Amino acid sequence: MSSREQLKAELLAQLDRQNVPAHIGIIMDGNGRWAKSRGKTRIHGHQEGARRVKTVVRFANDLGVKHISLYAFSVENWARPSFEVSALMRLIRAYIIRERNDLHAEGVKFRLLGRMEELAPEIIRQANISTELMKDNPGLSLNLCINYGGRAEIVDAVKKIIRAGYPPDEISEELISRHLYWPELPDVDLMVRTSGEMRTSNFHLWRGAYAELYFTPVLWPDFDDVELLKAIAAYQNRERRFGKISEQL
């Protein structure tokens, strides 16, 4: 058994399966730096990052995680060089098509979160095919956040509320939650960011209000099942008080 396998076995032995975070959000950062360190192009890094998604989603499903939100393309990412944006959109479309049958076979559900109306029609079409195919699956819900931003989601929710004609006195947290992109999606329990950056970058601002934050220097293409177990172990070693004191828990 390799040292990596030994570490995985130790982390699994220590895992409290009754306290696995129900919803994990991941800011998948570091593809470009991973590629540059190997003399490769940024596009190559994004391709490797897409392959890493399969490992993490499958393992999270095996652990009993109910929802995993992956920050794949933000509303701010349109400002990147056009060739990179185009490559990312092709990669997203290819991922949705390529992984559809495997995800379905593993019982995973699928959906996109974000301003879908601004995406290419073919991406939306392929996403809808996957969502419909997997809607009754019993496993983890994979939420691919494309053209997503936490502020944008809140703004769009407020616009829906205004269009629906709600008076100011009826505005509440619960009402706003009901108008987010997928209202049934629960709050984020654990938010992970790879690559050593220590910020949430406009990801799940509403649902992540009480998320436990976990930052790791590991670049996303190197983030594997062991790294996910480390993040969950850190989560399980924290006391979540939600504004209360320890004696009230």
Residue among 16, 19, 29, 222 flagged as catalytic:
29
Which residues have a Cβ under 8 Å from the Cβ of 70 and sit 6 or more positions away? Answer: 25, 26, 28, 53, 142, 143, 144, 145
In the set 61, 62, 77, 102, the catalytic residue is 77
Is residue 222 among the annotated active site residues?
no
The residues assigned a catalytic role are 29, 77
